[in-house]
Structure 1
């Protein structure tokens, strides 16, 4: 009996210790998040979007884009602002996985009420082995609820005064190098389907339900990428979209309509688009969005004056970079 009481006492102390530790971590995490939102120069480039979206005024972003580097280099929300007054933000990460996208969207919903979420589909087929994916899922849950685990390196940056400054164009990544894609047609029609892993399917469904819960439309988009896209992947996404009643736009089947020239619009042998290709894709997608969805035109509204200022900076850079691309081409 005494042994039982002793072990019960030890267990109670351990539980109490863990509760206090968690409370301390949560408290410190809140300060870490506030610090990183206020100054993302201390944040590694890959994680900047999750803090920058929190810096946007509440309920000011109408379109959230999720995705890996394909989404970041192919879709430019500032161009939508210039053409239509639509507000968007690319909540992307290099190599973003579906579980990261889900927690990114959760974070965005804390301050925003988007009318549309665009999910760039390349990450649907980004999956490690099952054990690694399960480990990453647990890690993402920890990052979500105790952000200090994600931001622990910020202390090294602060103490060493090492910063990672980067321009902010609402999550869009300007890429202006040109390395042509020269391998010919890559979307050859067939009946094959590439398997979507169970982990990815699980989080894809969580994203769909999260959008549904918040009254947000979900649009699946495959941006042009000969290296990453093929008809087997198209068929799998199309089947999922049909099953769930979602819209799916595969821009790999519309490169002629978009005007993609793989000699001038490819960043790196057909893996990503450069700014020239992204501008074409963004404008085509913007036209599609205005024809199929309804978004307010915020241009001229007092609360969106910063968008006008940021757009002028974006436009100046866009003109400069297009000259560089044309000269290289």
Structure 2
């Protein structure tokens, strides 16, 4: 019995060290990247940031004035200056107001219904699938982002891709050193092998997020093979976002499935609820819609901004300008999300 207790204590200490390592290292990693970009100059930054940057990236949406932000860090194999497949995936969800960080770890070998018409494939193969399209590597990045958004039910604000050597150095550093210095990071992380959709101001904002969200760090290994686990995953996400700006705004959202594809409105509800938003109803629309619509009472609403960013909405109209849209939910909702075939076909 004593031996068992000692083992439990040893395991517990090990877990605490891991959490502290992540907690202390996150801001230093981003601070290092900021320092490198300042020292290297704007021309160098533009060359690496545009190298594989996605045309459909959410980077056009500002990180300022948010209390929640997410960052994808992934390890990719690189051949002839192009990513060929994915090896490791981490998504950081920072909550500044609650000073918490949620780290999702997803196996790249997990099989998943890749968004679009690609079917069931390993996540690691999204770049190969992207090469089948005219957009090539940009499509690969888009498929990765869309897949992770669909898996986690949260938006991915920004991303950084690292080659294998740099990713392993990064992992070893944050897991084995409780307080890595900028010098250590400079000696272990390369700057020529990563790509990001972040601007210099984005890096600064993301650094602030990591700095203010490191008091409590929880790491989650995502199991895509267990549907019940995915429900638990959503529960943990909602616990981390219960005080989001969307939650505090208390906008009533109705989601309508404007297609013949089952489950579309349920998916929309999950996206809102994972940000602790208030879903009034989730049902089928009166008719089918080729183009999705977002009908709102206030363009400046944080709920509206989040939905627009997540789905890449361009068709956003005020309620008093949507009198020809004959859906009962519009009158009793602050925000009505109608998901049409343009979005449903990409899920």
Give the TM interval when normalised to the shorter protein: 0.3 to 0.5
Provide TM-score, normalisation by structure 2. 0.31
Based on CA coordinates, which of the two structures has the bigger radius of gyration? 1
Higher helix share: 1
Q: Of the two structures, which has the highest relative contact order with CA contacts closer than 8 Å and spacing of 6 or more?
A: 1
Provide TM-score, normalisation by structure 1. 0.32
